[in-house]
């Protein structure tokens, strides 16, 4: 229980980035707690507990999005929950809007790499994809974001 509580805030942040509303994010935290306790025997190594939790979080968040079939736009008062409080708000909202246009796999990798600061090795384990594939998808996503930034002129280029 204490170990789960240690990562509860990270789970909430990751869930919130996906579902963009507090109620669904809190529901996801509860679902991740339930799923993690129910399936603790599937954890192969205690060293990967956080990685395992993040994978469960992403699966639960994706299920909620599919179930709701709707996108709820970011509310500025929740900006601090996703770790961008020091950035220009209009820029971060614009970037977040652009991130939303990425494919699901691209968005997952961008969020894990830049919002959660996972390594490529950790990302490949969470998503169960080869390391090279994780890198390729990230670079493809970054190229899309650069192109979109230039099109809407928010990157100052």
pLDDT band at 61 (very low <50, low <70, confident <90, very high): confident
Unique residue bearing structure tokens 């669904």: 24
For residues 39-60, average pLDDT:
87
Please say if the pLDDT value at position 153 is more than 70. no
Lowest mean pLDDT among 61-65, 81-85, 91-95: 81-85
Domains and CATH numbers, the chain: 1-72 (1.10.1740.10), 88-157 (1.10.10.10)
- Tell me whether residue 50 is exposed, middle or buried, using C-beta atoms within 10 angstroms of its C-beta: 0 to 12, 13 to 18, 19 or more: middle
Structure tokens at 40: 């603790």
Vertex 68 angle, CA 75 and 123, to 5°: 75
Per mean pLDDT, which of 20-29, 56-65, 117-126 is the most reliable? 20-29
Please say if the pLDDT value at position 58 is more than 90. no
Q: What is the pLDDT of residue 108?
A: 84
């Amino acid at each position: 229980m204490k170990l789960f509580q240690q990562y509860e805030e990270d789970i909430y942040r990751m869930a919130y980035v996906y579902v963009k509303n507090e109620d669904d994010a809190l529901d996801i935290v509860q679902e991740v707690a339930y799923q993690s306790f129910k399936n603790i025997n599937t954890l192969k190594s205690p060293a990967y507990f956080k990685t395992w939790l993040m994978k469960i979080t992403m699966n639960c968040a994706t299920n909620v999005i599919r179930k709701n079939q709707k996108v709820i736009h970011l509310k500025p008062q929740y900006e601090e929950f996703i770790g961008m409080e020091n950035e220009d708000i209009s820029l971060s909202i614009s970037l977040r809007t652009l991130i939303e246009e990425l494919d699901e796999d691209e968005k997952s990798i961008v969020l894990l790499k830049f919002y959660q600061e996972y390594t490529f090795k950790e990302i490949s384990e969470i998503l169960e994809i080869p390391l090279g594939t994780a890198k390729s998808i990230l670079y493809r996503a970054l190229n899309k974001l650069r192109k979109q930034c230039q099109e809407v002129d928010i990157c100052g280029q």
